[in-house]
Copies of this chain bind each other. A is one copy, B any other.
Amino acid sequence: MITLTRKERDRQLRKTDIIKAAERIFALKGFHAATMQDIAKEAQYATGTVYLYFRDKDTLYFSLVEEKLQDLLESVKIDIAKVLDAEDKIRICLDHNLDFFEKNQDFFRIFLSERTKIQVQKENKLYKSSVLLQYKEFIVSLVKIGQQQKIIRNDYEAGQIAEIFFSIFVSMIIDWFMKEPKNSARLTNLSGFILDVFLRGVGRK
């Protein structure tokens, strides 16, 4: 049975190769303008080969989003469990995200366009990005911990506050990406600023 396992591993490696290529192409051209040929070429395979690993273009796209987000979410969860203080948890979550997206700029572009979609209909199948939902749920849970520990107001809904937290840091990443020359400063340097704005606002006093 060792043979089977190695085969499986090989197959997985090739899938990952294709996903990496797809990531670059989708980020560069967007979902529709990216062709399966582009992706195959980038991955150094023939067009048909991609179809041996992914049923169709949608499946490839969703596998990519799910896999990446899953990785991010898992690693954030592990690190967050190490501390008890809510503000620390939030800071760690933020740092992790900033670090992740700095290292995965291609994926960030894809992530951005996914953010508002959540689900996509094709024929009679309905693909839901369950990980994106989990991701959002996770942030809500963080906010709730903050509310319990009294560092976050509880006269506002946790869902709304989570949405605000999320949108602030996403907007700061966008802002960072826009600036030339890229990679001038580390994105993680913004973590203090973002947390400050989130907790204390931008008011003068």
A interface, CB within 8 angstroms of B: 32, 112-113, 116, 150-153, 156, 159-161, 163-168, 170-172, 174-175, 193, 197-204
Contact = CB atoms under 8 A, between A and B. Distances in A.
6 contacts: A152-B202, A152-B203, A166-B171, A167-B167, A167-B171, A199-B202
Interface centre among A151, A153, A166, A201, by most B CB within 10 Å? A201
A175 B80 CA distance: 26
Contacts of A32: 32
Given A113-B116, A198-B201, A199-B203, A163 B150 contact: no
Interface centre among A112, A163, A165, by most B CB within 10 Å? A163
Given A32-B32, A113-B116, A175-B159, A204 B164 contact: no
A32 to B, nearest CB: 5
A175 B159 CA distance: 8
A164 B201 CA distance: 10
Contacts of A159: 175
Given A116-B113, A156-B193, A167-B167, A204 B151 contact: yes
